[in-house]
Structures are given as C-alpha cells and as structure tokens.
A and B are shown apart, each in its own frame.
Chain A
Amino acid sequence: MQSTDTEFLIPTSVGEALQAIAKEDAIFLGGGTSTALLYKTRLIEPSRVVWLGNVNELKGIRISASEVRIGAMTSVAEIAADSEIARLLPGLSSAAGVIGNARVRAMATLGGALAHADPRQDIPPALIAVDAKASIRSLSSTREVSLAEFYAGFLETVLDPDELVTEVVIPITSNRRSAYLRYTPTSEGDYPTVGVGSSLTFADDGKTVSAAKIILCGVGAVPIIAAQAAQALIGTTADESVLRNAAALVRGAIDPQDDERGTADYKTEMSEVFTYRCLRLCLGN
C-alpha cells in the first residue's frame, strides 16, 4: 500500500477529538474494520484520521435502574459478553454476538458501527427496537437523536461532519421483551440476507401488547421500520394468527434488491418468515 499524507491523530479526550475533526475531509476512526476496507480500496481518502482508541471516556457500559448507556468506543465483543446486557436487552446481545467473526467483534466499536451506516448491519434493528438514542456532540452543540431517525440513506446518517456519537442510551422498560434474529444462508460470518429486531411491551395484565417494534436490516437502503406490521400487534395477545398477520405486513415496508444474498423476491419471503420467528423469540419460544 502506498504511503499517503493522511494525518493520524490520537486524542485522549472528547474535547481534543472534537477540536481535531475541524478540518476538511477529516474522519473519526473507531476500531477501523470498515474504515480500513474503505481506505485500502481508496473509496475514502481522508486528509486526517482522528483515532478514538485512547479516549477512555468513550468506553464502557453503564447500567442504572432506568437506562443502559454504552460508550461509542465500546467494542462489539464487550457488548456481546456482558451478562447484564444479555438479561436486559437480549436482542442487542444476540445481534452483537453474531456480527462477522470473533476478530471483527473484538475490533469493531458501537459508535463506528452506527456512523458507518451499512444497511445490512445487525445492531441497528436491535437498538431501534428498544428505542435507543445516540448522544451526539460537536464543539458547539450537544443533542440526542433517536436511532429511528438517525439513518439518512445508504452509508449516510444525520451526523454533521464535526459531530461525534459519544454514547448510545437505551431506556429500560418493565414488561418489554426484545429479540434479534438473522438469516445467513451463505456463511455465518456474512452479512445477513435479512435480519429482524423486534420488541413487545406488555400491559399490566402481562398478556396484552401495549407497544411493539419491528425493524429489518438487509432489505433497504437504511434499517426498515415496519410500523404497520408492529401496529397490528398492539392491543392483541400476540397469538399465532396475529403474529402471522404482522409478519406478512412487513412485505409492504421493505425495499430489497437482488444481490448475492438473494433475489428481491426471496428476501421478501424470508423477511416474512424471519419476522414471524423473531416475534416468537420475543415471546420466549
């Protein structure tokens, strides 16, 4: 690989990192699993790379009674290995545990995954299903954006060039169950043909669905929020026919393309099948 003039900066605080990004074509770097690939094929040629590996305030998982906060530089492997995440957010836990392979999970970071915005990623459906928000900072502002509104297009987010996702905040709700299920007909380490994140929240009777979310990856330019399908579950007791009906409704929400992971028709069929199975997982069977 030929040498380049790309500057490589290693800040140790968020403040320093935000100062460092103020240059045209500068980018933040997390674990580098996606960035290195984009760079070695020269799809990106940044003027400056701001590596966040030594910014300790961006690392770690903090859990309180009302929310889970995960720092942007927390690795996917740490999320997959955390027993409290597995208990409180089983959908997120299983999504983190199936990404790529053990090496990718060890290197890849949560913030990097969000900013990269590949629509086949496993984590976004799992996070959107549990109402996760991204905390975003720049030198001049701080804001929170729901991940449901975070994705703007293929590899595009609502982030401004000077903004950094510092952490992801997930509210803890009692009576909510979540699950993530993917379909990888090629190899385990591949991106999924379709992945489904779902959550069901139950009323005080423990049976009636009071809120529901269904989100799919791999079948559109961004994670697809199947709102109508989820709506069909609300007010029901999520019995067999209701699940089948909701799963069929995802067909109208998705926009799959033909590729090596399946034709658009095949992905449509599999989206229905795996939505049904994911909802069953949510119910514990």
Chain B
Amino acid sequence: MKITFNLNGKGMELDVDPMSLALDVIRGLSLTGTKEGCGVGVCGACTIMVNGSPVSSCICLVGTLSDKDVWTIEGLAEKMPELIDSFVEKEGMQCGICTPGQIVAAAAIDSVGASSPEDIKKYMAGNLCRCTGYQTILSAVEEYVAIN
C-alpha cells in the first residue's frame, strides 16, 4: 500500500505494509538515529515527532502516519541546532543510546506546553536513561526551553 507523509520536511511516498512499525520503516530508510529500546512504548529510545507530538515509533503502525508531518533525530538535528547545543553544553548524555529519543522528546515539548522545571521533569519522565544521567538531561532541556 502506498503511504504518503512528510519526513524531515520532505514529502515521501512509500510502498510499504501499513501494518509494519514506523521504527522499522524509518530505520530501513537508513535513518538509524532512531533506536529500538524496550519495544513496548515504555523507554522512549525510539521517539519520533508526529504533528508536533512525541510518539513511540516501536508501537506506531506506519499506516497511521498517513498525511502526517514526521520528524526524526536526523531532521531535528539540522532544524534545531540550538537544541543539540543545549545537550552538548550541559552534557545531557552518557552512553548515548537514549540520547536521540531524549532530544526528539525535548523537541516536542511544546505539544504539552511544559515550561517549569517540575512540568519538564514530568514530561521527560517517559524517556528512560539507564546510565541515570537525568540531572544533566533535564538541565539541557531546561536550557533549551529557557532560550526558546
């Protein structure tokens, strides 16, 4: 089935099984910044941004992306260099496996309008970091929110 959507600002038409997972389709396009972690929508490593909201691509059937505006870490890194800068400056990463998901989640923070440290913490709670580098991740997101 042909699925059309915008990916990282460009129109896409893919001939795919609509029941395949967005995660697999995106990584199949050589966009391997999106990682698979838990595979059940809990850890946030596979976060993509769909119509401005964070979405777990590991539990997202690609057919439901029809006509949507989809962004991955690759596109957001180019579009929002200041967000990447915040993560670099605050050292908001350790081993790095969760980092793309953390950054994409932060990019979508406007979807819930979180701005206080408490709101940011609650919003980012769904993105796990098994190195437990949460303080620096939260500092990075707080800085990004403050300068935007």
Residues of A within 8 A of B (CB): 1, 3-4, 6, 8, 10, 29, 31-33, 35-37, 39-40, 49, 51, 53-54, 77, 81, 100-104, 106-107, 188-189
State the CA gap A35–B112 with chains docked (Å).
Answer: 24
Most buried by B among A3, A6, A32, A53: A32
**Docked complex: B102-142 residues within 8 A CB-CB of A:** 105, 108, 111-113, 123, 125-127
Instruction: Tell me if B61 and A36 are in contact (CB < 8 A).
Output: yes
Residue B40, interface by CB 8 Å:
yes
Report B1-37 CB contacts with A as 1/0, cut-off 8 Å.
1000000000000000111110010000000000000
State the CA gap A32–B18 with chains docked (Å).
Answer: 12
Q: From B20, B56, B61, give the contact of A3 (CB < 8 A).
A: B20
Instruction: Tell me if B63 and A1 are in contact (CB < 8 A).
Output: no
State the CA gap A36–B67 with chains docked (Å).
Answer: 19
Instruction: Tell me if A1 and B44 are in contact (CB < 8 A).
Output: no
Query: What residue in chain A is nearest B67 (Cβ atoms)?
Result: A54
Most buried by B among A3, A33, A35, A102: A102
Instruction: Tell me if A103 and B54 are in contact (CB < 8 A).
Output: yes
- Give the shortest distance, in Å, between A274 (CB) and chain B (any CB): 20
Instruction: Tell me if B55 and A103 are in contact (CB < 8 A).
Output: yes
State the CA gap A66–B6 with chains docked (Å).
Answer: 41
30 residue pairs bridging A and B, Cβ less than 8 Å apart: A1-B21, A6-B17, A8-B1, A10-B66, A32-B59, A33-B56, A33-B59, A35-B61, A36-B61, A37-B40, A37-B59, A39-B61, A40-B59, A54-B66, A54-B67, A77-B111, A100-B41, A101-B41, A101-B125, A101-B127, A102-B123, A103-B41, A103-B55, A103-B56, A104-B41, A104-B56, A104-B126, A106-B50, A106-B54, A188-B125
Known: A37-B59, A54-B66. A103 touches B19 (CB 8 A): no
State the CA gap A40–B17 with chains docked (Å).
Answer: 13
Instruction: Tell me if B60 and A107 are in contact (CB < 8 A).
Output: yes
Nearest 4 A/B pairs, CB to CB: A101-B126, A8-B18, A106-B53, A36-B59
Known: A35-B61, A49-B63, A102-B123. A189 touches B42 (CB 8 A): yes
Residue B99, interface by CB 8 Å:
no
- Give the shortest distance, in Å, between A32 (CB) and chain B (any CB): 5
Residue B86, interface by CB 8 Å:
no
Instruction: Tell me if A32 and B61 are in contact (CB < 8 A).
Output: yes
Q: Which residues of B contact A53 (CB under 8 A)?
A: 64, 66
Most buried by A among B19, B21, B44, B55: B19
* B residues contacting the other copy or chain, number (CB 8 A): 34
Residue B72, interface by CB 8 Å:
no
Query: What residue in chain B is nearest A36 (Cβ atoms)?
Result: B59
Q: Which residues of A contact B50 (CB under 8 A)?
A: 106
State the CA gap A237–B21 with chains docked (Å).
Answer: 54
- Give the shortest distance, in Å, between B103 (CB) and chain A (any CB): 14
Instruction: Tell me if A36 and B21 are in contact (CB < 8 A).
Output: yes
Instruction: Tell me if B59 and A189 are in contact (CB < 8 A).
Output: no
Q: Which residues of A contact B60 (CB under 8 A)?
A: 32, 36, 107
Instruction: Tell me if A3 and B17 are in contact (CB < 8 A).
Output: yes
Q: From B17, B41, B44, give the contact of A37 (CB < 8 A).
A: B41
Q: Which residues of A contact B17 (CB under 8 A)?
A: 3-4, 6
Instruction: Tell me if B63 and A107 are in contact (CB < 8 A).
Output: no
Q: Which residues of B contact A6 (CB under 8 A)?
A: 17-19
Q: From B19, B24, B127, give the contact of A8 (CB < 8 A).
A: B19
- Give the shortest distance, in Å, between A253 (CB) and chain B (any CB): 30
Q: Which residues of A contact B44 (CB under 8 A)?
A: 101, 103
Can you name 12 extra interface pairs (CB under 8 A) apart from A81-B113, A102-B105, A107-B56?
A33-B59, A36-B21, A39-B61, A49-B19, A51-B61, A51-B63, A51-B66, A100-B126, A101-B42, A101-B126, A106-B111, A189-B42
